[in-house]
Amino acid sequence: MLNNYLNVRGYTLSLCQDLQNEDFGLQAEEFVSPVKWHLAHTTWFFETFVLVPHQKSYRLFHQDYSFLFNSYYNNVGERVPRAHRGLISRPTVKEVFAYRKYVDAAMSSLLEDGDEGELADLVTLGLHHEQQHQELLLTDLKYNLYFNPLRPSVNDIGEYPNLYEEDWIEMPSGMHKIGFQGEGFCYDNELGFHEVFLEPYAIADKLVSNADFEEFIKDGGYRNSNFWHADGWAWVLQTGREAPLYWEKNQDSYSVYTLQGTKALIPDAPVAHVSFYEAAAFAEWAGYRLPTEFEWEAAAPSFDWGSRWEWTQSAYLPYPRYQKAPGAIGEYNGKFMINQMVLRGASVATSPHHSRVSYRNFFGPEAQWQFSGIRLVKDH
């Protein structure tokens, strides 16, 4: 486990290797966090939930860091308002790196003494938590840098892979097993394993492309309320959106901002950074619909996934026999099971070894800054 711990922690640092000090503290909106905060928060997680209860000799690196770097754990105590994370100029970037080094040394000592039972479970959860923040670090950084007129290049994660010709995968009616089973890690929201009955449907083996979505725009998709949910149409009117996030109109074509700077839009690449509202409106315009998360999971072994988180039309709700853990750890998933939509799959920003068919991601329907895309379904 120690090697896995060091590998995951090292991967986080590798994502920052081309950043300058000025990049670490940016926070353009409340829903994104600075790189420096991600680095410190993931470290705080191990300090708070692993080291403090399991290593008697451990001493806090700094008594105020829990207030600064707690995210949403009410059971742990008060914290800096989320919108103010970009105002934390101190500790400095150098001090945050020293904090990581200090906690890593203590964790290495602890794991060398043994990693069984509850300790192993907590460390494993902490590592998957850090992998979630690795993806958030990239997507938050991209959003923050987008407001810089220089549109800097800081990382190459292969954001826009090409697609292939579309086909449809026929799925017969019947019972399908849903959720996580077997060995290995899963989050509590992937339990319990259960069966659902699905009517027959066909699901596209290809994601919606940039070219497809551009046709929606040209056909007045953002100007026709008939394609949109009421909340979605209100969102369009409020935000004035006319294209996916990061698209920029250049006379008769579009460019797109990436972590490698501004690029020409690749027509055959899968569309990204669309909200649930946009995904549902596109599906309505195209004459199809979004899959439920159960339809997605049942069909997933038959198609390629992993370049985009894929919106489903399923609300984020507990599975049968769902059990929330006691205390602060129980705040990880269950308390967010309201006003959220489920996304399935993974994205080009997802960390290695952090995806599986049963994984349930979730965001509000207005969220665009993740690498979220669209897969269509048609009924029979």
Question: Which residues, at least 6 apart from 184, have a Cβ–Cβ distance to it below 8 Å?
Answer: none
Given this model, what pLDDT does residue 219 score? Answer: 98
Query: What's the predicted TM-score (pTM) here?
Result: 0.96
Instruction: Give the pLDDT confidence score for residue 127 in this predicted structure.
Output: 98
pLDDT for 2 equals 93
Structural domain boundaries in the chain:
2-146, 168-379
Peptide bond into 270 cis (omega under 30): no
Strand partners of residue 174:
198
For the cut 80, the answer to whether the pLDDT of residue 71 exceeds it is yes
d(Cα 182, Cα 246) in Å, to the nearest integer? 40
d(CA 51, CA 328): 15
- 78 CB-contact burial (10 Å; exposed 0-12 / middle 13-18 / buried 19+): exposed
| Rounded Cα gap, residues 272 and 308, in angstroms | 7
Rounded mean pLDDT, 141-163: 94
Neighbours of 17 (CB within 10 A): 8
Query: Cβ neighbours of residue 22 under 8 Å, at least 6 residues apart?
Result: none
Q: Is the pLDDT of residue 116 over 80?
A: no
pLDDT of residue 187 exceeding 90: yes
How many CB atoms are closer than 10 A to CB 8?
21
CA–CA dist 244, 369 (Å, integer) = 10
> Measuring CA to CA, which residue among 363, 359, 360, 319 is closest to residue 341?
363
pLDDT above 90: residue 333: no
Mean residue pLDDT across the chain = 96
- What Å distances lie between residue 270 and 171, 195, 233, 305, 359, CA to CA? 23, 31, 24, 11, 21
For residue 37, what are its two tokens? Answer: 């905060």
Paired with 153 in beta bridges are 260
Beta carbons of 363 and 273 less than 8 angstroms apart:
no
Distances (CA, A) of 352 to 119, 140, 346: 23, 19, 10
Rounded average pLDDT over 25-46: 98
Question: Which position has the higher pLDDT, 115 or 113?
Answer: 113
What angle (nearest 5°) sits at the alpha carbon of residue 375, between those of residues 187 and 237? Answer: 95
* Structure confidence by residue, pLDDT tens digits, 219-262: 999 999 999 999 999 999 999 999 999 999 998 899 999 999 99
Does residue 32 sit in helix, strand or coil?
coil
SS3 content of the chain, % helix, strand, coil (to 5): 40, 15, 45
Mapping DSSP to helix (H, G, I), strand (E, B) and coil, where does residue 59 land? Answer: coil
Please report which confidence band the pLDDT of residue 380 belongs to, taking 50, 70 and 90 as the band edges.
confident
Arithmetic mean of pLDDT, 158-169: 88
The predicted pLDDT at position 166 comes to 83
pLDDT at 115: 62
Is the pLDDT assigned to residue 305 strictly greater than 90? yes
Rounded average pLDDT over 167-177: 97
Residues 282-298 have a mean pLDDT of 98
Q: Looking at 159-163, 302-306, 335-339, which range is the least confident one?
A: 159-163
Cα separation, 145 vs 127, whole angstroms: 27
Q: Which CATH architecture has domain 168-379?
A: Alpha-Beta Complex (3.90)
Does residue 345 surpass a pLDDT of 80? yes
pLDDT (average), residues 288-297: 98
What is the pLDDT, as a whole number, of residue 335? 92
Give the span between the Cα atoms of 279 and 313, in whole angstroms: 10
CA separation for the pair 34, 44 (Å, rounded):
15
Residue-wise pLDDT for 310-321, tens only, equals 999 999 999 999
Nearest to 189 by CA among 204, 179, 175: 179
